[in-house]
Amino acid sequence: MSNISIVKKTIVNIRHSLRFFICVSIAVFIIAAILIVFYKKAYIVKYNGEIIGYCSSKSKLQERINKYIENGNSDNENLAYVDIEILPTYNLTFLKRSIETNDEEIYNAVISSGITYYKYFAIQLNEEDKYYVSKYTDAENIVQKLKDKESNNMDKIKIVERYDTNLASFTAIDDCVSGLYEEKPKPKSKPKYTPSKSNATSQYIPNLGIDMIEPVQGIISSRFGIRRRDNHKGLDIANSTGTTIHAAASGTVTYAKYNSGGYGHLVIISHGNGIQTYYGHNSKLYVTPGQYVSKGDPIAAMGSTGISTGPHCHFEIRVNGTAQNPQNYVFRGR
């Protein structure tokens, strides 16, 4: 009799469990149906810690923002990039179908905080900006015309790349040539023969003995040499935050941490024979001191740490501690 009683109790318990499972399944189905009928998938968008609306697709919205950072919304050929320091964050949610998303308002709110940088070229005389032109080819044309006219001040004329939030006023090529041209002094009545000197100064370019690749893709935003505010020891390549930076050549990582001297998160790689490469202003570091890296290995992510006006990689090449112009080895012709 006891065995029969146990079997009956087991059957009753199974029935109760089955009923409970059916009830739960029906409830889940009803909830799912309600969600499908009355709600839609969306994303809560926060900017600067505050909710600014809802978007239907975070990938499409972020793609529009990234495109604006790279190209802006202007047809101006001198637009270099737009610096947006803070990007929005997204959290998945279910939104009542009666509530409309506001993708366009969110997009406009984010891009309105951006700072637009323009690229143009200055023609300097005695380290002072005299004229501005839109293209590097225009600047080269001016210098060539002055050379053809044998202007007496050729050794004092220089082309400098400029990046600024305001676009300079450009001057026509012929007007620049007229304003810069300096006639050579006429010879005295009894001229003495003196050996001719070339205006061009030769620069020794060390042979590194290694081949280097471009460490990152992007726009050259500042070149090697004297700038308005300092003597720039490297080359700045601008792109979006998070862009992967690669080792220009194989070597051993000797420095990989935050540098308080203005470089921000900095990686230094030693390639032997006194040759070093620097990669500054990173947002993330992928390597550690003592680690050996091969040419092309990922070493960091682009950022704007340290003294920086926007996301870029500050790239230096040093030989026995002396900074060299990176464009003698990479980014040639750009």
- Residue 270 belongs to a domain with what CATH number? 2.70.70.10
pLDDT at 200 over 50: no
Looking at the structure, do residues 145 and 241 belong to the same domain, yes or no? no
End-to-end CA distance of the chain: 96
Q: Give the model confidence (pLDDT) of 291-301 as tens digits.
A: 999 999 999 99
Domain-embedded: residue 13:
no
Tokens of 236: 């700045």
Of 113, 129, 159, which residue sits at a domain end?
A: 113
Weakest mean pLDDT among 11-25, 91-105, 256-270 = 11-25
Range(s) of the domain holding residue 157? 118-180
Looking at the structure, do residues 126 and 176 belong to the same domain, yes or no? yes
Looking at the structure, do residues 157 and 99 belong to the same domain, yes or no? no
pLDDT at position 259: 92
Q: Give the model confidence (pLDDT) of 121-133 as tens digits.
A: 999 999 899 999 9
pLDDT at position 33: 61
Strand partners, 121: 133, 161
Distances from the Cα of 227 to the Cα of 40, 41, 68, 75, 303, angstroms: 54, 51, 28, 28, 22
For 79, residues 6+ apart whose C-beta sits below 8 A from its C-beta are: 71, 72, 116, 117, 118, 119
Looking at the structure, do residues 260 and 317 belong to the same domain, yes or no? yes
pLDDT at 273 over 80: yes
Looking at the structure, do residues 102 and 126 belong to the same domain, yes or no? no
pLDDT at position 272: 92
pLDDT at 199 over 50: no
For the chain, give the mean pLDDT.
86
pLDDT at position 191: 46
- The single-letter DSSP state of residue 327 is G
Confidence band for 76, pLDDT divided at 50, 70 and 90: confident
pLDDT at position 203: 61
Better pLDDT: 57 or 36: 57
Angle, helix 173-180 to helix 136-148, in steps of 10 degrees: 40
Q: How far apart are CA 94 and CA 42, in angstroms?
A: 6
pLDDT at position 194: 40
For 123, residues 6+ apart whose C-beta sits below 8 A from its C-beta are: 129, 130, 131, 132, 133, 139, 142, 143, 157, 158, 159, 176, 180
Confidence band for 4, pLDDT divided at 50, 70 and 90: low
Q: How far apart are CA 281 and CA 308, in angstroms?
A: 7
